[in-house]
Structure 1
Amino acid sequence: MTDRKVLAAQVQRRAVRRVTRSIATSVITIGAGFWLVYAVVAVVVPLLVRRAGNEMEHGVLATSDYIARWVAFGTAIAMLATILATHLAAGGTRRALRDGAIRAAVIAGVVYAAIGALATVGERGLFGALGWTWQRADALTTGDGAFAVELVADTFATAVYVLVGCAVVAGYQSHGGWRGTLLVVPGLVPLALVDLVTAGGSGHDVLGNLVQIPASSAVAIGLVGGAAAVVLAAGWLHLHLHSLRLRPTR
Protein backbone atom coordinates (compact mmCIF):
# COMPACT_ATOMS: atom_id res chain seq x y z
CA MET A 1 0.00 0.00 0.00
CA THR A 2 2.83 2.37 0.86
CA ASP A 3 4.56 1.70 -2.45
CA ARG A 4 1.33 2.40 -4.30
CA LYS A 5 0.95 5.72 -2.51
CA VAL A 6 4.53 6.66 -3.30
CA LEU A 7 4.04 5.78 -6.96
CA ALA A 8 0.78 7.72 -7.11
CA ALA A 9 2.48 10.75 -5.58
CA GLN A 10 5.29 10.56 -8.12
CA VAL A 11 2.84 10.30 -11.01
CA GLN A 12 0.92 13.27 -9.63
CA ARG A 13 4.05 15.40 -9.35
CA ARG A 14 5.08 14.55 -12.90
CA ALA A 15 1.61 15.46 -14.16
CA VAL A 16 1.72 18.80 -12.32
CA ARG A 17 5.14 19.54 -13.80
CA ARG A 18 3.92 18.75 -17.32
CA VAL A 19 0.92 21.04 -16.97
CA THR A 20 3.07 23.79 -15.45
CA ARG A 21 5.66 23.49 -18.17
CA SER A 22 3.11 23.44 -20.99
CA ILE A 23 1.20 26.53 -19.86
CA ALA A 24 4.12 28.57 -18.50
CA THR A 25 6.36 27.95 -21.52
CA SER A 26 3.67 29.00 -23.97
CA VAL A 27 2.60 32.10 -22.05
CA ILE A 28 6.22 33.20 -21.57
CA THR A 29 7.26 32.49 -25.17
CA ILE A 30 4.34 34.40 -26.67
CA GLY A 31 4.82 37.14 -24.10
CA ALA A 32 8.52 37.46 -24.95
CA GLY A 33 7.59 37.94 -28.60
CA PHE A 34 5.09 40.63 -27.63
CA TRP A 35 7.61 42.46 -25.44
CA LEU A 36 10.26 42.29 -28.17
CA VAL A 37 7.96 43.96 -30.68
CA TYR A 38 6.80 46.49 -28.10
CA ALA A 39 10.39 47.31 -27.11
CA VAL A 40 11.26 48.12 -30.71
CA VAL A 41 8.21 50.37 -30.98
CA ALA A 42 9.10 52.02 -27.64
CA VAL A 43 12.49 53.01 -29.08
CA VAL A 44 11.45 53.97 -32.60
CA VAL A 45 8.49 56.18 -31.70
CA PRO A 46 10.37 58.57 -29.34
CA LEU A 47 13.19 58.89 -31.88
CA LEU A 48 10.70 59.83 -34.59
CA VAL A 49 8.98 62.30 -32.27
CA ARG A 50 12.35 63.86 -31.37
CA ARG A 51 13.30 64.08 -35.03
CA ALA A 52 10.06 65.95 -35.71
CA GLY A 53 11.01 68.46 -33.01
CA ASN A 54 8.38 67.37 -30.51
CA GLU A 55 8.44 65.85 -27.04
CA MET A 56 6.55 63.00 -25.41
CA GLU A 57 5.11 63.23 -21.91
CA HIS A 58 4.52 59.50 -21.49
CA GLY A 59 6.33 56.64 -23.14
CA VAL A 60 4.87 54.01 -25.41
CA LEU A 61 5.04 51.50 -22.56
CA ALA A 62 2.27 53.38 -20.75
CA THR A 63 -0.20 51.13 -22.58
CA SER A 64 1.83 47.93 -22.46
CA ASP A 65 0.11 46.48 -19.40
CA TYR A 66 -3.23 46.55 -21.21
CA ILE A 67 -2.01 44.32 -24.01
CA ALA A 68 0.41 42.16 -22.03
CA ARG A 69 -2.31 40.98 -19.65
CA TRP A 70 -4.60 39.99 -22.50
CA VAL A 71 -1.72 38.24 -24.28
CA ALA A 72 -1.24 36.10 -21.17
CA PHE A 73 -4.99 35.54 -20.94
CA GLY A 74 -5.37 34.44 -24.55
CA THR A 75 -2.29 32.22 -24.52
CA ALA A 76 -3.47 30.48 -21.33
CA ILE A 77 -6.81 29.77 -22.98
CA ALA A 78 -5.19 28.32 -26.08
CA MET A 79 -2.70 26.17 -24.17
CA LEU A 80 -5.11 24.68 -21.63
CA ALA A 81 -7.60 23.94 -24.42
CA THR A 82 -4.81 22.08 -26.21
CA ILE A 83 -3.74 19.86 -23.31
CA LEU A 84 -6.95 19.46 -21.32
CA ALA A 85 -8.63 16.55 -23.12
CA THR A 86 -5.37 14.67 -23.60
CA HIS A 87 -4.46 15.13 -19.94
CA LEU A 88 -7.77 13.72 -18.70
CA ALA A 89 -7.91 10.96 -21.29
CA ALA A 90 -4.44 9.82 -20.20
CA GLY A 91 -5.64 9.51 -16.61
CA GLY A 92 -4.42 12.87 -15.36
CA THR A 93 -6.26 14.34 -12.41
CA ARG A 94 -8.13 17.59 -12.11
CA ARG A 95 -5.96 18.45 -9.13
CA ALA A 96 -2.87 18.22 -11.32
CA LEU A 97 -4.49 20.61 -13.78
CA ARG A 98 -5.32 23.02 -10.98
CA ASP A 99 -1.92 22.90 -9.30
CA GLY A 100 -0.07 23.08 -12.60
CA ALA A 101 -2.12 26.05 -13.78
CA ILE A 102 -1.55 27.92 -10.50
CA ARG A 103 2.19 27.33 -10.64
CA ALA A 104 2.30 28.36 -14.29
CA ALA A 105 0.36 31.53 -13.49
CA VAL A 106 2.83 32.52 -10.78
CA ILE A 107 5.87 31.76 -12.95
CA ALA A 108 4.45 33.63 -15.92
CA GLY A 109 3.50 36.52 -13.65
CA VAL A 110 7.04 36.86 -12.33
CA VAL A 111 8.58 36.67 -15.80
CA TYR A 112 6.12 39.15 -17.34
CA ALA A 113 6.66 41.57 -14.48
CA ALA A 114 10.44 41.28 -14.73
CA ILE A 115 10.45 41.86 -18.51
CA GLY A 116 8.06 44.77 -18.13
CA ALA A 117 10.24 46.29 -15.42
CA LEU A 118 13.37 46.01 -17.57
CA ALA A 119 11.51 47.58 -20.49
CA THR A 120 10.42 50.44 -18.24
CA VAL A 121 14.00 51.04 -17.06
CA GLY A 122 15.15 51.08 -20.68
CA GLU A 123 12.47 53.54 -21.74
CA ARG A 124 13.25 55.82 -18.81
CA GLY A 125 16.92 55.74 -19.80
CA LEU A 126 16.04 56.60 -23.40
CA PHE A 127 13.95 59.57 -22.28
CA GLY A 128 16.84 60.76 -20.13
CA ALA A 129 19.22 60.48 -23.06
CA LEU A 130 16.84 62.58 -25.16
CA GLY A 131 16.64 65.20 -22.42
CA TRP A 132 13.01 64.46 -21.64
CA THR A 133 11.30 63.91 -18.30
CA TRP A 134 9.87 60.40 -17.99
CA GLN A 135 6.93 59.57 -15.77
CA ARG A 136 4.77 56.50 -15.48
CA ALA A 137 1.04 56.97 -15.82
CA ASP A 138 -1.28 55.37 -13.26
CA ALA A 139 1.48 54.13 -10.94
CA LEU A 140 0.60 52.92 -7.46
CA THR A 141 3.43 55.02 -6.06
CA THR A 142 6.33 57.12 -7.24
CA GLY A 143 8.08 57.09 -3.88
CA ASP A 144 10.66 54.79 -2.37
CA GLY A 145 10.22 51.18 -3.38
CA ALA A 146 8.10 52.05 -6.41
CA PHE A 147 10.04 49.62 -8.61
CA ALA A 148 9.47 46.68 -6.24
CA VAL A 149 5.81 47.59 -5.71
CA GLU A 150 5.08 47.67 -9.43
CA LEU A 151 6.97 44.40 -9.90
CA VAL A 152 4.77 42.62 -7.36
CA ALA A 153 1.59 44.27 -8.63
CA ASP A 154 2.30 43.26 -12.23
CA THR A 155 3.04 39.71 -11.08
CA PHE A 156 -0.37 39.52 -9.43
CA ALA A 157 -2.10 40.97 -12.48
CA THR A 158 -0.59 38.51 -14.97
CA ALA A 159 -1.23 35.56 -12.67
CA VAL A 160 -4.91 36.49 -12.37
CA TYR A 161 -5.32 36.78 -16.13
CA VAL A 162 -3.71 33.36 -16.67
CA LEU A 163 -5.90 31.69 -14.04
CA VAL A 164 -9.12 33.22 -15.33
CA GLY A 165 -8.15 32.24 -18.87
CA CYS A 166 -7.75 28.63 -17.74
CA ALA A 167 -11.12 28.83 -15.95
CA VAL A 168 -12.79 29.96 -19.18
CA VAL A 169 -11.58 26.81 -20.94
CA ALA A 170 -12.73 24.56 -18.10
CA GLY A 171 -16.14 26.26 -18.09
CA TYR A 172 -16.72 25.69 -21.79
CA GLN A 173 -15.46 22.11 -21.53
CA SER A 174 -17.86 21.26 -18.72
CA HIS A 175 -20.92 23.32 -19.59
CA GLY A 176 -20.86 23.85 -23.35
CA GLY A 177 -21.30 27.02 -25.36
CA TRP A 178 -24.26 28.82 -23.79
CA ARG A 179 -23.62 28.16 -20.12
CA GLY A 180 -19.87 28.38 -20.64
CA THR A 181 -20.33 31.87 -22.07
CA LEU A 182 -22.54 32.92 -19.16
CA LEU A 183 -19.89 31.70 -16.74
CA VAL A 184 -17.35 34.02 -18.32
CA VAL A 185 -19.13 36.96 -16.67
CA PRO A 186 -18.35 36.06 -13.01
CA GLY A 187 -14.77 35.44 -14.09
CA LEU A 188 -14.50 39.12 -14.97
CA VAL A 189 -14.68 39.99 -11.26
CA PRO A 190 -11.08 39.01 -10.37
CA LEU A 191 -9.89 40.65 -13.60
CA ALA A 192 -11.63 43.91 -12.73
CA LEU A 193 -10.42 43.71 -9.14
CA VAL A 194 -6.75 43.23 -9.99
CA ASP A 195 -6.89 45.99 -12.64
CA LEU A 196 -8.52 48.39 -10.20
CA VAL A 197 -6.20 47.84 -7.25
CA THR A 198 -3.01 47.73 -9.34
CA ALA A 199 -3.98 50.88 -11.28
CA GLY A 200 -3.53 49.25 -14.66
CA GLY A 201 -5.36 47.53 -17.47
CA SER A 202 -8.75 48.20 -19.01
CA GLY A 203 -10.57 47.48 -15.74
CA HIS A 204 -8.90 50.47 -14.13
CA ASP A 205 -10.01 52.72 -16.97
CA VAL A 206 -13.62 51.63 -16.48
CA LEU A 207 -13.74 51.58 -12.69
CA GLY A 208 -11.01 54.04 -11.71
CA ASN A 209 -13.33 57.05 -11.81
CA LEU A 210 -16.09 55.19 -9.97
CA VAL A 211 -13.98 53.79 -7.14
CA GLN A 212 -11.51 56.29 -5.76
CA ILE A 213 -8.57 54.75 -3.88
CA PRO A 214 -6.78 57.18 -1.54
CA ALA A 215 -3.18 57.79 -2.58
CA SER A 216 -2.01 57.26 0.99
CA SER A 217 -3.24 53.66 1.00
CA ALA A 218 -2.86 52.85 -2.70
CA VAL A 219 0.19 50.62 -2.17
CA ALA A 220 -1.36 48.61 0.66
CA ILE A 221 -4.65 48.20 -1.18
CA GLY A 222 -2.81 47.34 -4.38
CA LEU A 223 -0.73 44.58 -2.84
CA VAL A 224 -3.41 43.12 -0.57
CA GLY A 225 -6.10 43.45 -3.22
CA GLY A 226 -3.82 41.96 -5.85
CA ALA A 227 -3.11 38.94 -3.66
CA ALA A 228 -6.84 38.59 -2.96
CA ALA A 229 -7.56 38.67 -6.70
CA VAL A 230 -5.08 35.83 -7.25
CA VAL A 231 -6.77 33.75 -4.55
CA LEU A 232 -10.19 34.56 -6.00
CA ALA A 233 -9.08 33.58 -9.52
CA ALA A 234 -7.51 30.35 -8.23
CA GLY A 235 -10.74 29.53 -6.41
CA TRP A 236 -12.77 30.23 -9.54
CA LEU A 237 -10.54 27.86 -11.51
CA HIS A 238 -10.86 25.23 -8.79
CA LEU A 239 -14.65 25.36 -8.95
CA HIS A 240 -14.58 24.79 -12.70
CA LEU A 241 -12.05 21.99 -12.55
CA HIS A 242 -13.83 20.26 -9.67
CA SER A 243 -16.82 19.56 -11.91
CA LEU A 244 -14.81 19.20 -15.12
CA ARG A 245 -15.89 16.45 -17.47
CA LEU A 246 -15.11 15.54 -21.03
CA ARG A 247 -17.97 16.30 -23.38
CA PRO A 248 -18.56 14.04 -26.38
CA THR A 249 -17.32 15.39 -29.69
CA ARG A 250 -19.66 15.70 -32.63
Structure 2
Amino acid sequence: MTATTAPAVATRAPARTSPTLHVARRQGVAALRLAAWFWPIALLALAAVTITAWVVEGRVDVSIAVHGRQALVWFLFSQAIQVAATYPRVHVAAGMTRRSLVRGTLLASGATGLAYALVLTGVVLVERWLHGLAGWGSALREVQLAGERAPLWALPIDTVVLTLLAITTGLLVGITYQRWGAWATLTLPLTVGPLLALLFLGIAPTGDVPGLGDVAPRALVGLAGGVGALGVLVVAAAFAVIARRLPLSAQA
Protein backbone atom coordinates (compact mmCIF):
# COMPACT_ATOMS: atom_id res chain seq x y z
CA MET A 1 0.00 0.00 0.00
CA THR A 2 1.51 3.24 -1.06
CA ALA A 3 0.96 6.49 0.67
CA THR A 4 -0.59 9.16 -1.42
CA THR A 5 -0.34 12.83 -0.87
CA ALA A 6 -3.04 15.31 -1.67
CA PRO A 7 -2.13 17.60 -4.52
CA ALA A 8 -1.00 20.98 -3.37
CA VAL A 9 -3.61 23.64 -3.87
CA ALA A 10 -2.20 26.80 -5.27
CA THR A 11 -3.26 29.77 -3.22
CA ARG A 12 -3.07 33.34 -4.28
CA ALA A 13 -2.39 36.11 -1.90
CA PRO A 14 -5.27 38.56 -1.82
CA ALA A 15 -4.67 41.61 -3.91
CA ARG A 16 -3.39 44.48 -1.80
CA THR A 17 -5.43 47.64 -2.03
CA SER A 18 -3.50 50.71 -3.04
CA PRO A 19 -2.90 52.93 0.02
CA THR A 20 -4.00 55.93 -2.02
CA LEU A 21 -7.30 54.28 -2.95
CA HIS A 22 -7.74 53.12 0.64
CA VAL A 23 -7.44 56.70 1.90
CA ALA A 24 -9.72 58.01 -0.84
CA ARG A 25 -12.35 55.36 -0.11
CA ARG A 26 -12.36 56.00 3.64
CA GLN A 27 -12.63 59.75 3.19
CA GLY A 28 -15.21 59.30 0.45
CA VAL A 29 -17.44 57.23 2.72
CA ALA A 30 -17.21 59.92 5.40
CA ALA A 31 -18.09 62.58 2.83
CA LEU A 32 -21.12 60.58 1.70
CA ARG A 33 -22.39 60.38 5.26
CA LEU A 34 -22.14 64.14 5.61
CA ALA A 35 -23.82 64.64 2.24
CA ALA A 36 -26.69 62.42 3.36
CA TRP A 37 -27.40 65.04 6.04
CA PHE A 38 -26.51 68.16 4.09
CA TRP A 39 -28.63 67.75 0.97
CA PRO A 40 -31.99 66.86 2.59
CA ILE A 41 -31.62 69.84 4.92
CA ALA A 42 -30.62 72.10 2.02
CA LEU A 43 -33.59 70.99 -0.11
CA LEU A 44 -36.02 71.50 2.77
CA ALA A 45 -34.60 74.99 3.30
CA LEU A 46 -34.96 75.72 -0.42
CA ALA A 47 -38.60 74.62 -0.39
CA ALA A 48 -39.34 76.66 2.73
CA VAL A 49 -37.77 79.86 1.36
CA THR A 50 -39.48 79.45 -2.01
CA ILE A 51 -42.90 78.93 -0.43
CA THR A 52 -42.38 81.89 1.89
CA ALA A 53 -41.39 84.16 -1.01
CA TRP A 54 -44.41 82.95 -3.01
CA VAL A 55 -46.80 83.66 -0.13
CA VAL A 56 -45.34 87.12 0.46
CA GLU A 57 -44.76 88.28 -3.14
CA GLY A 58 -47.23 86.15 -5.07
CA ARG A 59 -44.50 84.85 -7.42
CA VAL A 60 -40.80 84.00 -7.34
CA ASP A 61 -38.87 85.32 -10.34
CA VAL A 62 -35.35 84.66 -9.06
CA SER A 63 -33.42 81.48 -8.41
CA ILE A 64 -33.32 80.63 -4.71
CA ALA A 65 -31.28 77.46 -5.17
CA VAL A 66 -28.28 79.25 -6.63
CA HIS A 67 -27.71 80.97 -3.30
CA GLY A 68 -26.80 77.52 -2.02
CA ARG A 69 -23.35 78.15 -3.46
CA GLN A 70 -22.46 79.99 -0.29
CA ALA A 71 -23.56 77.06 1.85
CA LEU A 72 -21.58 74.65 -0.33
CA VAL A 73 -18.43 76.73 -0.17
CA TRP A 74 -18.26 77.07 3.59
CA PHE A 75 -19.53 73.55 4.31
CA LEU A 76 -16.84 72.01 2.09
CA PHE A 77 -14.25 74.43 3.47
CA SER A 78 -14.95 73.42 7.08
CA GLN A 79 -15.18 69.74 6.14
CA ALA A 80 -11.73 69.90 4.53
CA ILE A 81 -10.23 71.61 7.59
CA GLN A 82 -11.48 68.72 9.71
CA VAL A 83 -9.90 66.20 7.32
CA ALA A 84 -6.53 67.97 7.40
CA ALA A 85 -6.66 68.31 11.18
CA THR A 86 -7.53 64.69 12.01
CA TYR A 87 -6.31 62.33 9.28
CA PRO A 88 -2.50 62.90 9.29
CA ARG A 89 -1.99 61.64 12.85
CA VAL A 90 -4.09 58.50 12.36
CA HIS A 91 -2.65 57.85 8.92
CA VAL A 92 1.00 57.99 9.98
CA ALA A 93 0.28 56.03 13.18
CA ALA A 94 -1.13 53.25 10.99
CA GLY A 95 2.22 53.00 9.22
CA MET A 96 1.20 54.58 5.93
CA THR A 97 3.10 57.25 4.10
CA ARG A 98 2.38 60.93 3.79
CA ARG A 99 2.49 60.52 0.01
CA SER A 100 -0.51 58.19 0.04
CA LEU A 101 -2.26 60.55 2.45
CA VAL A 102 -1.79 63.50 0.11
CA ARG A 103 -2.83 61.62 -3.01
CA GLY A 104 -5.83 59.95 -1.42
CA THR A 105 -7.01 63.15 0.24
CA LEU A 106 -6.79 65.16 -2.97
CA LEU A 107 -8.56 62.40 -4.90
CA ALA A 108 -11.42 62.18 -2.41
CA SER A 109 -11.66 65.96 -2.04
CA GLY A 110 -11.73 66.49 -5.79
CA ALA A 111 -14.50 63.94 -6.23
CA THR A 112 -16.47 65.47 -3.36
CA GLY A 113 -16.19 69.01 -4.70
CA LEU A 114 -17.17 67.88 -8.20
CA ALA A 115 -20.17 65.93 -6.93
CA TYR A 116 -21.49 68.81 -4.82
CA ALA A 117 -21.15 71.23 -7.72
CA LEU A 118 -22.97 68.94 -10.14
CA VAL A 119 -25.77 68.27 -7.67
CA LEU A 120 -26.26 72.00 -7.10
CA THR A 121 -26.28 72.60 -10.84
CA GLY A 122 -28.96 69.93 -11.22
CA VAL A 123 -31.04 71.48 -8.44
CA VAL A 124 -30.81 74.92 -10.08
CA LEU A 125 -31.89 73.50 -13.45
CA VAL A 126 -34.82 71.61 -11.90
CA GLU A 127 -35.83 74.76 -10.06
CA ARG A 128 -35.70 76.70 -13.34
CA TRP A 129 -37.97 74.10 -14.96
CA LEU A 130 -40.46 74.25 -12.07
CA HIS A 131 -40.46 78.04 -12.19
CA GLY A 132 -41.22 77.84 -15.90
CA LEU A 133 -44.19 75.57 -15.24
CA ALA A 134 -45.50 78.10 -12.72
CA GLY A 135 -44.98 81.00 -15.13
CA TRP A 136 -42.20 82.51 -13.03
CA GLY A 137 -38.78 83.75 -14.01
CA SER A 138 -35.52 82.31 -12.72
CA ALA A 139 -32.95 85.10 -12.71
CA LEU A 140 -29.54 84.24 -11.28
CA ARG A 141 -28.75 87.03 -8.85
CA GLU A 142 -25.98 85.22 -6.98
CA VAL A 143 -23.81 84.07 -9.89
CA GLN A 144 -22.91 87.07 -11.99
CA LEU A 145 -20.42 85.20 -14.15
CA ALA A 146 -22.98 82.60 -15.19
CA GLY A 147 -25.93 84.93 -15.43
CA GLU A 148 -28.90 84.77 -17.75
CA ARG A 149 -26.89 85.81 -20.81
CA ALA A 150 -24.25 83.13 -20.27
CA PRO A 151 -24.46 79.74 -22.03
CA LEU A 152 -25.87 76.71 -20.20
CA TRP A 153 -22.43 75.19 -19.61
CA ALA A 154 -21.29 78.28 -17.72
CA LEU A 155 -23.08 77.42 -14.47
CA PRO A 156 -21.41 74.03 -13.83
CA ILE A 157 -17.99 75.43 -14.74
CA ASP A 158 -18.47 78.40 -12.44
CA THR A 159 -19.68 76.19 -9.60
CA VAL A 160 -17.16 73.35 -10.00
CA VAL A 161 -14.19 75.70 -9.87
CA LEU A 162 -15.58 77.36 -6.76
CA THR A 163 -16.28 74.13 -4.86
CA LEU A 164 -12.87 72.67 -5.75
CA LEU A 165 -11.15 75.84 -4.60
CA ALA A 166 -13.18 75.84 -1.38
CA ILE A 167 -12.27 72.27 -0.47
CA THR A 168 -8.58 72.58 -1.35
CA THR A 169 -8.40 75.87 0.55
CA GLY A 170 -9.83 74.12 3.60
CA LEU A 171 -7.17 71.43 3.31
CA LEU A 172 -4.45 74.07 3.10
CA VAL A 173 -5.77 76.00 6.09
CA GLY A 174 -6.05 72.83 8.15
CA ILE A 175 -2.57 71.57 7.32
CA THR A 176 -0.94 74.95 8.03
CA TYR A 177 -2.45 74.91 11.51
CA GLN A 178 -1.16 71.36 11.95
CA ARG A 179 2.29 72.51 10.90
CA TRP A 180 2.64 75.89 12.61
CA GLY A 181 -0.13 75.99 15.18
CA ALA A 182 -1.52 79.41 16.07
CA TRP A 183 1.15 81.10 13.95
CA ALA A 184 -0.73 79.82 10.89
CA THR A 185 -3.28 82.56 11.53
CA LEU A 186 -0.79 84.96 9.96
CA THR A 187 -0.98 83.00 6.70
CA LEU A 188 -4.78 83.28 6.35
CA PRO A 189 -4.61 86.20 3.88
CA LEU A 190 -2.57 83.93 1.59
CA THR A 191 -4.42 80.68 2.19
CA VAL A 192 -8.00 81.98 2.13
CA GLY A 193 -7.40 85.00 -0.10
CA PRO A 194 -7.85 83.21 -3.46
CA LEU A 195 -11.20 81.77 -2.36
CA LEU A 196 -12.49 85.13 -1.16
CA ALA A 197 -11.33 86.76 -4.39
CA LEU A 198 -13.21 84.22 -6.51
CA LEU A 199 -16.31 84.61 -4.36
CA PHE A 200 -16.19 88.38 -4.85
CA LEU A 201 -15.69 87.94 -8.58
CA GLY A 202 -18.74 85.69 -8.67
CA ILE A 203 -21.19 87.83 -6.70
CA ALA A 204 -20.11 91.40 -7.41
CA PRO A 205 -21.72 93.22 -10.34
CA THR A 206 -19.21 93.03 -13.15
CA GLY A 207 -19.34 96.80 -13.49
CA ASP A 208 -17.81 97.05 -10.01
CA VAL A 209 -14.79 94.96 -11.03
CA PRO A 210 -12.31 97.06 -13.03
CA GLY A 211 -11.97 95.85 -16.60
CA LEU A 212 -14.79 93.29 -16.49
CA GLY A 213 -17.80 95.46 -17.23
CA ASP A 214 -17.55 95.11 -21.01
CA VAL A 215 -16.33 91.51 -21.22
CA ALA A 216 -18.65 89.09 -23.02
CA PRO A 217 -20.28 86.44 -20.78
CA ARG A 218 -18.53 83.51 -22.47
CA ALA A 219 -15.13 85.15 -22.16
CA LEU A 220 -15.86 86.18 -18.58
CA VAL A 221 -16.74 82.64 -17.52
CA GLY A 222 -13.69 81.31 -19.34
CA LEU A 223 -11.47 83.87 -17.62
CA ALA A 224 -12.87 83.10 -14.17
CA GLY A 225 -12.72 79.36 -14.84
CA GLY A 226 -9.10 79.52 -15.97
CA VAL A 227 -7.99 81.70 -13.08
CA GLY A 228 -9.94 79.56 -10.63
CA ALA A 229 -8.50 76.31 -12.00
CA LEU A 230 -5.00 77.74 -11.67
CA GLY A 231 -5.81 78.73 -8.10
CA VAL A 232 -7.01 75.18 -7.33
CA LEU A 233 -3.75 73.71 -8.64
CA VAL A 234 -1.59 76.15 -6.68
CA VAL A 235 -3.51 75.61 -3.44
CA ALA A 236 -3.48 71.82 -3.87
CA ALA A 237 0.26 71.88 -4.54
CA ALA A 238 0.87 73.97 -1.42
CA PHE A 239 -1.15 71.49 0.64
CA ALA A 240 0.83 68.59 -0.81
CA VAL A 241 4.20 70.19 -0.04
CA ILE A 242 3.31 71.04 3.56
CA ALA A 243 1.59 67.72 4.27
CA ARG A 244 4.50 65.64 2.94
CA ARG A 245 6.93 67.58 5.13
CA LEU A 246 4.75 67.60 8.22
CA PRO A 247 6.97 66.56 11.16
CA LEU A 248 5.72 63.98 13.62
CA SER A 249 6.19 66.45 16.44
CA ALA A 250 3.53 68.65 14.86
CA GLN A 251 1.01 65.85 15.38
CA ALA A 252 1.73 65.25 19.02
TM-score tier, shorter chain, comes to 0.7 to 0.9
Matched, 1:154 2:159: yes
Q: How far off its partner does 1:228 sit?
A: 0.6
Provide the C-alpha distance between the structure 1 equivalents of 2:243 and 2:164, rounded to a whole number of angstroms. 17
Contact 2:178 2:251 in 1 (8 A): no
Identify the residue that residue 8 of structure 2 maps to in structure 1. Answer: none
Provide the C-alpha distance between the structure 1 equivalents of 2:251 and 2:19, rounded to a whole number of angstroms. 24
Provide the C-alpha distance between the structure 2 equivalents of 1:221 and 1:155, rounded to a whole number of angstroms. 14
Provide the C-alpha distance between the structure 1 equivalents of 2:18 and 2:194, rounded to a whole number of angstroms. 29
Q: How far off its partner does 1:193 sit?
A: 4.0
* Structure with the higher helix share, 1 or 2: 1
User: 1:230 aligned to 229, 232, 238, which one?
Assistant: 232
Segment of structure 1 superposing worse, 30-39 or 136-145: 136-145
Identify the residue that residue 86 of structure 1 maps to in structure 2. Answer: 90
Q: How far off its partner does 1:119 sit?
A: 0.9
Contact 2:59 2:136 in 1 (8 A): yes
Segment of structure 1 superposing worse, 184-193 or 158-167: 184-193
Matched, 1:165 2:170: yes
Contact 2:89 2:251 in 1 (8 A): no
Q: AA paired with 1:209?
A: D
Identify the residue that residue 72 of structure 1 maps to in structure 2. Answer: 76
Taking the TM superposition and a 5 Å limit, the aligned residue runs for 1:6-21 are 14-21=18-25
Identify the residue that residue 222 of structure 2 maps to in structure 1. Answer: 220
Q: How far off its partner does 1:83 sit?
A: 1.8
Provide the C-alpha distance between the structure 1 equivalents of 2:121 and 2:21, rounded to a whole number of angstroms. 27
Q: Deviations over 1:40-62 (max 9, x none)?
A: 22223323333345233323223
**C-alpha distance 96-184 of structure 1, shift in aligned 2 (>3 A):** farther
Q: Partner of 2:248: helix, strand, or coil?
A: coil
User: 1:23 aligned to 16, 20, 27, which one?
Assistant: 27
Q: AA paired with 2:86?
A: T
Q: How far off its partner does 1:172 sit?
A: 1.6
Contact 1:102 1:234 in 2 (8 A): yes
Taking the TM superposition and a 5 Å limit, the aligned residue runs for 1:34-45 are 34-45=38-49
Q: AA paired with 2:226?
A: V
Percent identity reads 21
Segment of structure 1 superposing worse, 237-246 or 114-123: 237-246
**C-alpha distance 111-97 of structure 1, shift in aligned 2 (>3 A):** same
Unaligned 5+ segments in structure 1 are 1-9
Contact 1:23 1:76 in 2 (8 A): no
Q: How far off its partner does 1:133 sit?
A: 0.9
User: 2:116 aligned to 112, 115, 121, which one?
Assistant: 112
Q: How far off its partner does 1:108 sit?
A: 1.0
Q: How far off its partner does 1:70 sit?
A: 0.7
Provide the C-alpha distance between the structure 1 equivalents of 2:231 and 2:28, rounded to a whole number of angstroms. 19
Moved over 6 A (4+): none
Provide the C-alpha distance between the structure 2 equivalents of 1:95 and 1:248, rounded to a whole number of angstroms. 17
Q: AA paired with 1:215?
A: V
Provide the C-alpha distance between the structure 1 equivalents of 2:57 and 2:209, rounded to a whole number of angstroms. 38
Unaligned 5+ segments in structure 2 are 1-14
| Length, aligned pairs only | 233
Matched, 1:102 2:102: no
Provide the C-alpha distance between the structure 2 equivalents of 1:121 and 1:174, rounded to a whole number of angstroms. 42
Q: TM-score, normalised by structure 2?
A: 0.80
Provide the C-alpha distance between the structure 2 equivalents of 1:62 and 1:75, rounded to a whole number of angstroms. 21
Contact 1:57 1:134 in 2 (8 A): yes
Segment of structure 1 superposing worse, 218-227 or 51-60: 51-60
User: 1:33 aligned to 26, 32, 37, which one?
Assistant: 37
Which structure has the greater CA radius of gyration?
A: 2
Q: TM-score, normalised by structure 1?
A: 0.80
Q: How far off its partner does 1:208 sit?
A: 8.3
